[in-house]
């Protein structure tokens, strides 16, 4: 696992590259998934804080993004990303994530 801080003019984002199933950390701004087989990114509980997380798949394996417990992501309990797909998620309401 590698953690890199990328600086832009407006903000700093923590990017974490993962090669196996992982759980989002509160400090994550982006999780880059690089695995040849399927893996899962488990999200922290949505509280309505407006927090944003981007999940990007660069490996050949499918990445399942899973909300905590029965939480939803655009109305579904999971979202699946293929290679090169990305999703920016916003914690917009308690128990609910949206993709923007």
Domain containing 27 equals: 2-99
Q: How many separate domains does the chain show?
A: 1
Distance (Å, whole) CA 21 – CA 5:
21
Residues 6+ apart with CB under 8 A from 9: none
pLDDT band of residue 13 (cuts 50, 70, 90) is confident
Among candidate residues 61, 57, 59, 51, the one with its CA nearest the CA of residue 28: 51
What average pLDDT does the structure give for the chain?
A: 92
For residue 20, the model assigns a pLDDT of 97
Q: Which residues contact 75 (CB under 8 A, 6 or more apart)?
A: none
Q: Are strands 52-57 and 72-73 parallel, antiparallel or unpaired?
A: unpaired
- What's the pLDDT score for residue 7? 52
pLDDT tens sequence across 43-65: 999 999 999 999 999 999 999 99
CATH value at residue 82:
2.60.120
Q: Give 15: exposed, middle or buried? Use CB within 10 Å, 0-12, 13-18, 19+.
A: middle
User: Each residue of 62-82: pLDDT tens digit?
Assistant: 999 999 999 999 999 999 999
Residue 15 has pLDDT above 60, yes or no: yes
């Amino acid at each position: 696992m590698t953690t890199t801080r990328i600086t832009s003019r407006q903000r700093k984002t923590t990017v974490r590259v993962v090669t196996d199933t992982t759980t989002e950390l509160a400090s994550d701004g982006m999780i880059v998934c690089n695995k040849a087989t399927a893996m899962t990114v488990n999200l922290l509980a949505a509280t309505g804080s407006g927090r944003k997380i981007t999940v990007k798949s660069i490996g050949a394996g499918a990445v399942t993004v899973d909300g905590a417990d029965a939480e939803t992501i655009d109305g579904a309990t999971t979202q699946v990303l293929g290679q090169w797909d990305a999703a920016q998620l916003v914690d917009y309401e308690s128990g609910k994530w949206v993709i923007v």
